[in-house]
Chains A and B, each alone.
Chain A
């Protein structure tokens, strides 16, 4: 990528005006960041132009290292991204950041506040996109998956994905990234929490942030004990425990070393390729679900069938039988022979 500034040659991609597909593709290839931003918006809005541009611009030779940061709200994920990306930026890396915050289930509005913590990464080699979950659960959203692919196609060499503040079962991030960092903070429970399935199982690296707070030593001792005794992943990787103080940058070098060494491990064990295969499979499946949702479930012809089934169940019909028959009719499509 030679061009990282905006192309100044007229014909803007303006909102509300007809958008030229070719113009967007050309600008994207020329390194125009407004084109990237716009393609992400199209994808987010579910505009087929967005996904079709991604398909056109996708380049399998461009591969980014994908790093995920996940953890409960307020543990310091955004501040870690800030410190992490600013170090990488100094190493002349090109970094894409996808930062996700929750949408309101009531109004669909969202407060996307991750940038407040990202005051040190305003250089031209970092691109930050804040996204709302827009109804998704699991810590990510489908558009976040596609956005990661857009950033990869644009030529970022490192992509950092920050999930929403998650709970114990929000583990989707592990499928999207190569290295999952689970961020914890002192006083976040005792060793019983480490035994719980879900979030604590997906860490390739445990990060204990705010490691200057009281309770750090006890927690880290417990966590290291737990890792040493129990946590060897089936591939043989033993997740390290890294202590950080994100707002001062302390521990970040160690975190970067841990991420590098995990990447080395994935390459050595060929697991990087396995992860990519799993990712592609997952994306195909999701694409299928999206099609089912949009082209079948929300279609007018299917709504008629669904309503009829609902009415029959209400007036005493056999719910299971109706469900089976409805499923068969929906799979058969709008004009069964």
Chain B
């Protein structure tokens, strides 16, 4: 039997056009043995949730460098709940002020990664969450 490979959806939501960071993450998670589906720039929360469902991903990673995180991240979570898909792990990263961190995590973001985080930390976080779920 083939093994379970972790599938991750990465997206740049909203009008933010900076995708170097997310491409580095994509390469890093790929090298950590995951299948990374990249949606590209300018994605709406609806696009992201629909793609996550079609692709049956384990994790959604949102990259935000332009300040829309407080609007978009909670919307993604709300839509996932609506679609009965809140079991998908939500992580985010980018420029997110400290004041917003707790609020987003309270609203259901599983983990936010700030500048300076290593890819190994991100991959290990995802893997440990998946392992605890499988157990």
- A contacts, CB < 8 Å to B: 6, 8, 10, 12, 14-17, 33-34, 37-38, 40-41, 44-48, 103-104, 107-113, 115-116, 119, 122, 127-130, 132, 134, 294
Contacts and interface: CB of A to CB of B under 8 A. Distances in A.
A16 B87 contact: yes
Contacts of A104: 30-31, 33
B36 interface: yes
29 contacts: A6-B53, A6-B84, A12-B85, A14-B87, A15-B58, A15-B133, A33-B53, A34-B85, A41-B7, A46-B1, A103-B35, A104-B30, A104-B31, A107-B33, A108-B5, A109-B29, A109-B31, A109-B32, A109-B33, A110-B30, A111-B30, A112-B37, A116-B40, A127-B54, A128-B51, A130-B55, A134-B2, A134-B5, A294-B1
B interface bracket (residues with beta carbon within 8 Å of A): 35 or more
B102 interface: no
Contacts of A129: 54-55
B33 A112 contact: no
B20 interface: no
Contact of A12 (B1, B3, B39, B87): B87
A107 B54 contact: no
Q: Which of B3, B7, B29, B84 has the most CB of A within 10 A?
A: B84
Interface of B: 1-5, 7, 26-27, 29-40, 46-47, 50-51, 53-56, 58, 83-85, 87-88, 133-134
B57 to A, nearest CB: 9
Contacts of A16: 87, 133-134
Contacts of B36: 109-112
Contact of A45 (B1, B40, B50, B88): B1
Nearest to A9: B84
B54 A37 contact: yes
B52 to A, nearest CB: 9
Contact of A116 (B4, B38, B56, B87): B38
Nearest to A39: B56
A34 B83 contact: yes
Contacts of A107: 30-33
Contacts of B37: 112, 115, 130
A113 B38 contact: yes
A37 B32 contact: no
Contact of B56 (A40, A103, A132): A40
B126 to A, nearest CB: 12
Given A108-B33, A109-B30, A110-B30, 10 more contacts: A12-B84, A16-B134, A34-B53, A41-B56, A48-B1, A109-B29, A116-B39, A128-B51, A128-B54, A132-B5
